[in-house]
Amino acid sequence: MATTDPIPSKPLGKVRAYILRIAGLSTTAQKALRICNEPNTCANDLNRVISLDPVLTGRVLQLINSAYYSLPSKVNSLTRAIILLGLNTVKNLVLSFALFESFSKRDTFRVFSADDFWTHSLSVAAAAKLLSIQSGVPPAEREDFFVAGLMHDIGKIPLNHLFPDEYRQAVELALGSGRATRFGEVAMIGVDHCEVGNLIARKWQLSPALVASLGCHHDLPGEAEAGMRMVGVVGLADVLAHGMGAGVPGGSSLDENERQRALAAWNLTAEALATLTAAVAVEIEKARVFLEIARR
């Protein structure tokens, strides 16, 4: 007897339709990501693609010359900028710019403000990159963790845009019950931001690690897929950001019991947590430059 996929719930069907309408990656972005993933790619290969896009070229040069990198002298050559940044960093810059182009329209945010959302996302990104360094992640891969943190809550945008009344009720329910935001989302809408984030990541054909980070970042390290270190790092970064007050209005995505279990899974003492939080605060201030350039 043949089997068929279950018919999606009405809210999830509406979300899927919304995601289908989201602009895909630009031709330049697609080419840049494809080139970066090819073996034996060099800076000149990527330069030939990015140089055809004046806006993207300008942003790459702005970033390399910003306080985010604090280089001793100004860089005017795109090829030189690509060499200094590294192919993986440039790939993630392209992805980040595409993210803002697709999800920063004025009417996209209805329940919470764009500034609050991106400030939280930036805080998690900065924390994730710092944690990746402390976890021994190779330098070439650390920007992947930054981008994973920046994108981790992207699934909240379609939900608050499509179901503003229900999302407000979800926030009130979560806050009133002391439960996580996901609890309110499922109760009032029928789908949570992790599932929506997973759909977006798959549409953009992101790496398996990024797909897992968007869909599973609230899983404890032991519950995440084997080998997906990024999932656990982004989850802890989110806990740290909320603990510092850099959270999206509506409360934490974890309830207090889940938060304590997440911290315990990392074996963090109170002293280590305080030291880590202070270091994250410094990284957030440095990374604000990245956010300002990417959102222009």
pTM of the model: 0.82
**Do 195 and 72 have their domain in common?**
no
Domain residues for the domain of 108 are: 104-296
**pLDDT at position 51, please?**
92
**Do 137 and 222 have their domain in common?**
yes
272: domain CATH number?
1.10.3210.10
Q: Given CA atoms 178, 180, 184, 186 in this order, what sign does their dihedral have? A: negative
**pLDDT at position 7, please?**
39
**Do 246 and 279 have their domain in common?**
yes
Which residues are within 8 A (CB) of 275 and not within 5 positions of it... i.e. 6 or more apart?
none
Distance from C-alpha of 243 to C-alpha of 259, rounded to nearest angstrom: 10
Question: Is 17 part of any domain?
Answer: no
Which residues are within 8 A (CB) of 118 and not within 5 positions of it... i.e. 6 or more apart?
104, 291, 295
- Cα 22 from chain centroid (whole Å): 17
Distance from C-alpha of 20 to C-alpha of 120, rounded to nearest angstrom: 26
Asked if 155 contacts 203 with a C-beta cutoff of 8 angstroms, the reply is: no
Q: pLDDT by residue (tens digit) across 196-212?
A: 999 998 888 888 888 88
**Do 121 and 256 have their domain in common?**
yes
**Do 174 and 232 have their domain in common?**
yes
Could you count the other beta carbons within 10 Å of the beta carbon of residue 267? 7
**pLDDT at position 4, please?**
40
**Do 252 and 135 have their domain in common?**
yes
**pLDDT at position 190, please?**
92
Torsion, Cα 158 163 190 2, to 10 degrees, reads -70
Question: Is 145 part of any domain?
Answer: yes
**pLDDT at position 206, please?**
85
**Do 43 and 121 have their domain in common?**
no
Question: Is 58 part of any domain?
Answer: yes
Q: Which of 47, 65, 94 is the last residue of a domain?
A: 94
**pLDDT at position 81, please?**
93
Question: Is 153 part of any domain?
Answer: yes
Burial class (CB in 10 A: 0-12, 13-18, 19+), 19: middle
Question: Is 7 part of any domain?
Answer: no
**pLDDT at position 193, please?**
92
**Do 183 and 45 have their domain in common?**
no
Residue with structure tokens 């992947």?
144
**pLDDT at position 169, please?**
92
Domain count along the chain: 2
**Do 175 and 199 have their domain in common?**
yes
Q: Which of 75, 94, 113 is the last residue of a domain?
A: 94
Q: What are the backbone angles phi and psi of residue 203, rounded to the nearest 5°?
A: -65, -40
**pLDDT at position 50, please?**
92
Question: Is 69 part of any domain?
Answer: yes
Question: Is 157 part of any domain?
Answer: yes
Asked if 74 contacts 64 with a C-beta cutoff of 8 angstroms, the reply is: no
Q: Which of 35, 62, 94 is the last residue of a domain?
A: 94
pLDDT < 70 regions, the chain: 1-9, 23-24, 105-107, 220-228, 247, 249-255, 294-296
Question: Is 20 part of any domain?
Answer: no
Q: pLDDT by residue (tens digit) across 220-277?
A: 655 444 446 888 888 888 888 887 877 675 666 666 777 777 777 777 777 888 888 8
Asked if 240 contacts 280 with a C-beta cutoff of 8 angstroms, the reply is: yes
**Do 289 and 197 have their domain in common?**
yes
**Do 86 and 149 have their domain in common?**
no
**Do 85 and 162 have their domain in common?**
no
**pLDDT at position 39, please?**
81
